[in-house]
């Protein structure tokens, strides 16, 4: 298993390398003159030359690529064109907020999606199945930013039962930072009031964000269970007299979720994408909000750094997903050998 994990990590490296190269291409090649982008419209030729020299833009392209690569590897993603602060600092500060939100959303999506898919499959073509199909098709069709606004309208504005925006009540203040995850930090500080407030703030954005994930998890679980139910070994288990509930909930589900787990990797990408809009709407102080600010202020350094970091997180998640899959289905690791 250890060998499999190592292999999987090594396999992820070329894509990451390619990603770094891609960000380089995006910044240096696509804009006709990066120096002009940096300097703004009103720059004089002298200013332009000065900027070229400062950023090494007068060097040959391959040399710039190597420099870019070296900088990225040493964790130097440059400074924000807008604020002048190192981009990496900003990202490290904001990453936990985004991870907390996406993680809770993923948890909701899995916790609700898997049972929904299972029930739908066992109730094939029955009322629960139709309900599940409606949820899974609707969930993938709904625009996250619109749902976010609708939920705000209903629960925060009209009913006034949940906070409209933010990660925690400003009057309460954030818990002392240990992990950056407010749920964990407020528990570590023993502040139940902060925990409850964090949960209340998480409710609307997490629900918004989880819906597409819930939809596809329910869907893949459903088809996975239906497919597994056709297998000989299920018939055999029935003949051997397994308990009905146990047969469905453990025996069949474990086979079915291998597909679902593979989907979670892809879903994570969708979650992060969704987070950009959802964070902006709920003023969630994470990477998504940062990306939107970067867009509005034309801060391409910040935007590319976000792209890079998201790519890395995505790769890590996908390695984890593959490892989880190998743990569930021992044949996966076997096949690679």
Partner 1 sequence: MLSVEGLSVRIGTGRGQARILDEVTLSVPRGGTLGVVGESGCGKSTLLRAILGILPRGTQVPAGAILFEGRDILADRAASARGRIGFIPQDPYLSLNPVFTAGAQILEAMRHHAPGTRRDHKAKLAELFRAVQLPDPEAALDKYPHEFSGGQRQRLLIAAALACDPALVVADEPTTALDVTTQREILALLRQLTAARGLSLLFVTHDFGVLAAVCERVAVLYAGRVAETGLTRAVLDDPRHPYTRMLLGCHPDRAVDLTGIPGTVPAATAQPAGCRFHPRCPLVQPGCAREVPPMLPLAEGHAVACPFHALPLPEPALA
Partner 2 sequence: MTALRHLLRDPVAALGLALVLFAIVVALFAPWLAPYPEDAFESRLLQRLKPPSAEFPFGTDNLGRDILSRVILGTRSAVVVAVSVVLAAMLIGVPVGLWAGWREGWVSETLMRVTDVFLAVPQLILALALGQLMAPGLTTAMVALALTYWPFFARTVHAETRRLRGALFVDALAGIGASTPRILLLHVLPNAAPAILVRATIGMGFTILTAAILGFLGVGAAPPSPDWGLAVAEARQHLPEAWWFPTFPGLAILLLVLGFNLLGDGLRDVADPRLRRGR
Distance CA 30, CA 34 (A): 8
Whole-number minimum distance, CB 243 to partner 1, in Å? 6
For residue 251, the partner it binds in partner 2, partner 1, none, with Cβ less than 5 to 8 A by kind, is partner 1
* Tokens found for residue 196: 């409850």
Torsion of CA 282, 103, 266, 223, to 10 degrees: -110
**Please, are residues 273 and 145 in contact by the beta-carbon 8 Å criterion?**
no
Whole-number minimum distance, CB 316 to partner 1, in Å? 25
How many residues belong to the chain?
337
Whole-number minimum distance, CB 143 to partner 2, in Å? 5
Where helices occur in the chain by DSSP H, the ranges are 2-28, 34-39, 45-54, 61-73, 87-122, 127-141, 144-151, 182-188, 192-229, 232-239, 244-246, 253-282, 287-296, 300-328, 330-336
User: Residue 86 pairs with which residues in a beta bridge?
Assistant: 79
**Please, are residues 238 and 247 in contact by the beta-carbon 8 Å criterion?**
yes
- 174 vs 258 by CB, closer to partner 2: 258
- 84 vs 241 by CB, closer to partner 1: 241
- 155 vs 251 by CB, closer to partner 1: 251
Identified binder of partner 2 from the candidate list 4, 5, 7, 26, rule CB under 8 A:
26
Is 310 a binding residue for partner 2 by CB under 8 A? The answer is yes
Size, binding site for partner 2 by CB under 8 A? 58
Identified binder of partner 2 from the candidate list 260, 300, 321, 333, rule CB under 8 A:
300
Is 67 a binding residue for partner 2 by CB under 8 A? The answer is no
Whole-number minimum distance, CB 218 to partner 2, in Å? 14
Could you write out the DSSP letters of every residue in 113-170?
HHHHHHHHHHTTTSHHHHHHHHHHHHHHHS-HHHHHHHHIIIIIIIS--S-SSSSS-T
Whole-number minimum distance, CB 183 to partner 2, in Å? 24
Residue that the structure tokens 């925060």 belong to: 156
Binding track over 260-289 against partner 2, x by CB under 8 A:
---------xx-xx--xx--xx--------
For residue 254, the partner it binds in partner 1, partner 2, none, with Cβ less than 5 to 8 A by kind, is partner 1
Whole-number minimum distance, CB 299 to partner 2, in Å? 9
Residues 219-248 within binding reach of partner 2 (CB under 8 A): 223, 226-227, 230
* Tokens found for residue 277: 């809009």
- Where along the sequence are the contacts to partner 1 (CB under 8 A)? 231-243, 246, 251, 254-255, 258, 328-331, 334
Nearest to 216 by CA among 284, 179, 252, 264: 264
**Please, are residues 207 and 135 in contact by the beta-carbon 8 Å criterion?**
no
Is 204 a binding residue for partner 2 by CB under 8 A? The answer is no
Residues found near partner 2 in the complex (CB under 8 A): 14-16, 18-19, 21-23, 26-27, 30-31, 37, 125, 133, 137-138, 140-147, 149-150, 152-153, 157-158, 223, 226-227, 230, 269-270, 272-273, 276-277, 280-281, 291-292, 294-296, 298, 300, 303-304, 306-307, 310-311, 314-315
């Amino acid at each position: 298993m250890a060998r499999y994990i190592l292999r999987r990590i090594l396999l992820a490296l070329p894509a990451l390398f390619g990603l770094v190269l891609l960000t380089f291409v995006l910044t240096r090649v696509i804009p006709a003159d990066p120096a002009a982008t940096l300097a703004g419209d009103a720059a004089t030729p002298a200013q332009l030359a000065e900027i070229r020299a400062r950023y090494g833009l007068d060097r040959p392209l391959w040399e710039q690529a190597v420099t870019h690569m070296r900088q990225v590897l040493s964790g130097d993603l440059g400074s924000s064109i807008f604020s002048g602060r190192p981009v990496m600092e900003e990202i490290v500060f904001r990453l936990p907020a985004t991870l907390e939100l996406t993680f809770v959303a993923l948890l909701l999506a899995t916790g609700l999606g898997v049972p929904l898919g299972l029930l739908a499959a066992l109730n094939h073509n029955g009322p629960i199945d139709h309900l599940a199909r409606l949820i899974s098709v609707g969930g993938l069709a709904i625009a996250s930013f619109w749902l976010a606004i609708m939920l705000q309208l209903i629960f925060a504005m009209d009913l006034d039962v949940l906070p409209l925006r933010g990660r925690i009540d400003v009057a309460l203040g954030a818990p002392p930072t240990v992990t950056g995850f407010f749920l964990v930090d407020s528990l570590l500080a023993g502040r139940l009031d902060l925990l409850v407030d964090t949960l209340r703030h998480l409710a609307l954005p997490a629900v918004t964000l989880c819906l597409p994930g819930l939809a596809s998890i329910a869907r893949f679980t459903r088809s996975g269970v239906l497919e597994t139910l056709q297998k000989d070994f299920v018939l055999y288990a029935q003949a051997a007299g397994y308990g009905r509930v146990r047969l469905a909930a453990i025996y069949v589900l474990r086979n079915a979720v291998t597909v679902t787990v593979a989907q979670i990797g892809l879903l994570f990408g969708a979650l992060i994408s969704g987070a950009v809009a959802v964070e902006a709407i709920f003023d969630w102080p994470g990477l998504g909000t940062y990306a939107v600010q970067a867009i509005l202020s034309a801060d391409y350094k910040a935007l590319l750094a976000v792209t890079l970091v998201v790519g890395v997180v995505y790769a890590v998640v996908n390695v984890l997903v593959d490892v989880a899959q190998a743990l569930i289905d021992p044949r996966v690791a076997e096949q690679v050998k």
